[in-house]
Amino acid sequence: MHNAFISVVCTINQRKEVGLISDYLTNIYGVLSSKFADFEIILVNNSPYEPEISEQVKTLSENIRKNIFLLNLSNAVNRNHAVFAGLDRSNGDYTVIFELGFYKNPQLIEDLYLKTTDHFDIVYCRARGRISGSSSVFHRIFYYILKKYSDLDIDEKAHNSRIISRRALNSLLRLRENLRYMKAIYSIVGYKTAAIEVEEPISGADGETFSEQFRTSLVAITSFTTFLRSLMLWIFIFSLLFMILVVANAMKVKFTSYDILGNYQEVISGWTFTVVLMSVFFAITCLNLYIISIYLANIYNEIKQRPLYIIESIRRF
């Protein structure tokens, strides 16, 4: 038995996850009770299904229930914020974020812990692959931007499930960003990090809709990369080249009545040049204003200092 206090954090976001709670708790209890000196299980209810969750917990034995804490958030929040609610409540020497999808493989908790004995502070589960789907191209573009336009060390095959040492968790909890993308936060915190491979593939964003994935990606790109700043530079360069091309074409038509492609053009003084130039720069101005508005929105969300979550109740079983 390992002489360590383990906290297990699990978030519940959808109705289909509620039905897995009983098996999940029963399975991980078997490993925690037999392998660790002390433990706690923190369920973060980020859904409106508290009665169903409570009913499932009540069917379990007293030995299991006494180690469970249920955090009911007063309103559904971003999934990353829900995870942070559980991390805030964690008291263990090590904290394991253990997804419901791994309920058939509870031994993974001990495997993660054993890896930390090699002096690693963060150990995550790494999938062998990703389930292909309509958003696979979107994910490839997203991770390409993260890797190219930031210094973050993010594994695109990393599951959310991982173990975090107490000292790494203390550092992580000091990063109170409202715009939160947990995989980027783990990278910023640093500490020695390792991965263990698991058979379970990455399946999209665990039930998130495309619009939710897009918003999360936009937060990650605008908050943790220089991509949009680089994009603005390229927009300026291409607009400058286009302006030179338009000016050269207009001058050629004015003096020769032929454009740069060799086509005859009737000269109408100033009209073509003015319309094209106004159209191009109006579009570029609108795009730049949109990009600036993203940054302003990020700043606005940070300076408001709204709480990441509000706990409605804590229930001890």
Please tell me the predicted confidence (pLDDT) of residue 133. Answer: 56
Is pLDDT of 312 > 80? no
CATH number 1.10.287.3510 given to 2-212+306-316: no
pTM, two decimals, is 0.73
Is pLDDT of 45 > 80? yes
Is pLDDT of 232 > 90? no
Please tell me the predicted confidence (pLDDT) of residue 96. Answer: 92
**Overall average pLDDT of the 95-111 stretch:** 87
Q: Could you give the CA distance from residue 16 to residue 25 in angstroms, rounded to a whole number?
A: 16
**Overall average pLDDT of the 252-269 stretch:** 74
Q: What is the pLDDT of residues 173-210, one digit of tens each?
A: 887 766 667 787 888 788 888 888 887 777 655 556 66
Helix 79-89 × helix 182-189 angle, to 10°? 50
Please tell me the predicted confidence (pLDDT) of residue 132. Answer: 58
Please tell me the predicted confidence (pLDDT) of residue 164. Answer: 92
Please tell me the predicted confidence (pLDDT) of residue 9. Answer: 92
Domain boundaries, the chain: 2-212+306-316, 227-304
The CA distances from residue 196 to 24, 113, 122, 126, 256, in Å, are 21, 11, 11, 6, 70
Judging by beta carbons within 10 Å of its beta carbon (0-12, 13-18, 19+), is residue 110 exposed, middle or buried?
middle
Q: Could you give the CA distance from residue 84 to residue 67 in angstroms, rounded to a whole number?
A: 20
Query: Which two structure tokens, joined as six digits, stand for 282?
Result: 């109006």
How many CB atoms within 10 Å of residue 242? 15
Q: What is the pLDDT of residues 283-311, one digit of tens each?
A: 788 788 778 877 877 776 677 665 576 56
Q: Is 79 helix (H, G, I), strand (E, B) or coil?
A: helix
Query: Which two structure tokens, joined as six digits, stand for 229?
Result: 């700043």
Please tell me the predicted confidence (pLDDT) of residue 303. Answer: 74
Task: Please report which confidence band the pLDDT of residue 116 belongs to, taking 50, 70 and 90 as the band edges.
Answer: confident
* 306: Cβ contacts below 8 Å, ≥ 6 apart: 178
Query: Which two structure tokens, joined as six digits, stand for 75?
Result: 């309103």
Q: What is the pLDDT of residues 121-167, one digit of tens each?
A: 899 888 876 665 545 677 778 878 877 877 778 877 888 889 999 98
Q: What is the mean pLDDT of the chain?
A: 79
Q: Could you give the CA distance from residue 192 to residue 210 in angstroms, rounded to a whole number?
A: 33
117 or 280, higher pLDDT = 117
Residue 316 one-letter amino acid: R
